[in-house]
Structure 1
Amino acid sequence: MDAAATLGIMEILGLAASASLLAGWRLYIVILGTGLAMRSGFLPLPEHLEALQVLANPWVLGIAGLGALAEFFADKVPWLDTIWDTVHTAVRPVGGAMLALAIVDPGDPAMQVIAFIAGGGGALLAHGGKAGTRTVINASPEPVSNIAMSTAEDVATLGLMWFVYEYPWASAGVAAVLLALAIGMVLAVRRVLRRIFRRNQDA
């Protein structure tokens, strides 16, 4: 029996959580990478994940590819990346929710609702951490840090996508690390903004 057909509930939830959290960073890369992996046969799917086959559609791949290319360049230009993130404040959470929804068992309505809400919430949290961090970086006088951060996000998203699809047993752990990282980024941005606000008040 194909290994993909024997995925357990923790692996399914881990994949859903990882995909939605990564979508909060790079939605188009997640869609493009998943679609290409399925189209090439690298990612065999159990029956209940057939909903993800739509990502292998040539039209979906083409649109995701254009989106990924535009995001790749826009995300490396100071303040243009902030505008891009602002526009995608609604897009990424919805995309993350839909990905999580497609991954969990459609025969369990309660799990579908949980996946949709948790997937959207996870993507929104990851998006908030990313967007806030990039805004703080843009305010610094070092434009190279913007490019370095964006490149790190590209590499991390692609690498972690490959890892969770290749080793689904580790996906829950990856999701936990991504969640902790997203929360840490949001809290760090909050601290920085509070310091700036206090400094402006004192001035």
Structure 2
Amino acid sequence: MSVLPLVFTSGWASGINAYAVVLLLGIFGATGLTDEVPESLQRTDVLIAAGVLFLCEAVADKIPYVDSVWDSVHTVIRPIAGAVVAALLAGESGSLPELAAGAVGGTTALLSHLVKAGTRMAINTSPEPFSNIGMSVAEDLGVAGIITFAIFNPEVAAIIAAVLLVLGLVILIFLAQRIRRFLRRRAQRREEKRLAATGAGTRARAPSGDGSEHF
């Protein structure tokens, strides 16, 4: 059986939460639910590290603006993780060259990461924090659900992941304008504060102007 559907699905999920993907695949492999997961992902130290990092992401991902900083840091990490996981899956299966699998997993992870990061930037333009929490929970549940489903029905899971990726890219295009407006407003506020501070400093240095002279 070709491992390509699982590679594609794991790449999509890695772009959203790479640590959850490593943790889930490792657990599924260690418990014997699937023989598609390489032993390197089932190691205890890998599972512990993935679990700790997943908990860190679960917290950071639900805090406005902190989630965007976290996403910026993971712009490189998630695609690399997607490529590595894909290559390991391909090496375990032997039905797909590891280099090709890494390219598919890394590219898919990068695209889904851009969707996630862009969507969060748009959500952060809203003053309330509940949309961040709701989106983060939905993403966590989505990753868990799609990876679990991919273990038992990889072809259908890959189709679902592809549909979600396309929808995410379409939504991101529509949100791009809102993101640009938000960045312009923020730059404008900074400029207004700078000008206000400059004006206050100028007034403080100005003479009293009463024109009185004493002889």
Class of the TM-score when normalised by the shorter of the 2 chains: 0.7 to 0.9
Superposition map of 1:145-164 within 5 A? 145-164=131-150
Higher relative contact order (CA 8 A, sep 6+): 1
- Distance in 1 (CA, whole Å) between partners of 2:168 and 2:104 is 14
Query: Which residue is 2:156 aligned to?
Result: 170
TM-score by length of 1: 0.83
Query: Which residue is 1:123 aligned to?
Result: 109
Residues 199 and 164 of structure 1, relative CA distance in 2, 3 Å threshold: same
Identity of aligned residues (%): 38
What is the number of residues matched between the two proteins? Answer: 188
Q: Which moved more, 1:83-92 or 1:173-182?
A: 173-182
- Per the TM alignment, residue 174 of structure 1 is displaced from its structure 2 partner at its CA by 2.3
Contact 1:16–1:100 (CA under 8 A) maintained in structure 2: yes
- Distance in 1 (CA, whole Å) between partners of 2:64 and 2:173 is 22
Q: Which moved more, 1:135-144 or 1:65-74?
A: 135-144
Contact 1:20–1:96 (CA under 8 A) maintained in structure 2: yes
- Distance in 2 (CA, whole Å) between partners of 1:197 and 1:40 is 47
Query: Which of 32, 42, 51 is the aligned partner of 1:41?
Result: 32
Query: Which of 58, 68, 76 is the aligned partner of 1:72?
Result: 58
Superposition map of 1:85-96 within 5 A? 85-96=71-82
Please list the CA deviations of residues 50-81 of structure 1 after superposition, one character each: whole Å capped at 9, or x if unmatched.
xx221110000000000000000110111111
Confirm or deny that 1:28 pairs with 2:14. Answer: no
**Alpha carbon RMSD of aligned pairs, Å?**
2.5
Q: Which moved more, 1:98-107 or 1:80-89?
A: 98-107
Name the larger-Rg structure: 2
TM-score by length of 2: 0.78
Query: Which residue is 2:118 aligned to?
Result: 132
Contact 1:21–1:178 (CA under 8 A) maintained in structure 2: no
- Per the TM alignment, residue 197 of structure 1 is displaced from its structure 2 partner at its CA by 6.8
Query: Which residue is 1:3 aligned to?
Result: none
Confirm or deny that 1:99 pairs with 2:85. Answer: yes
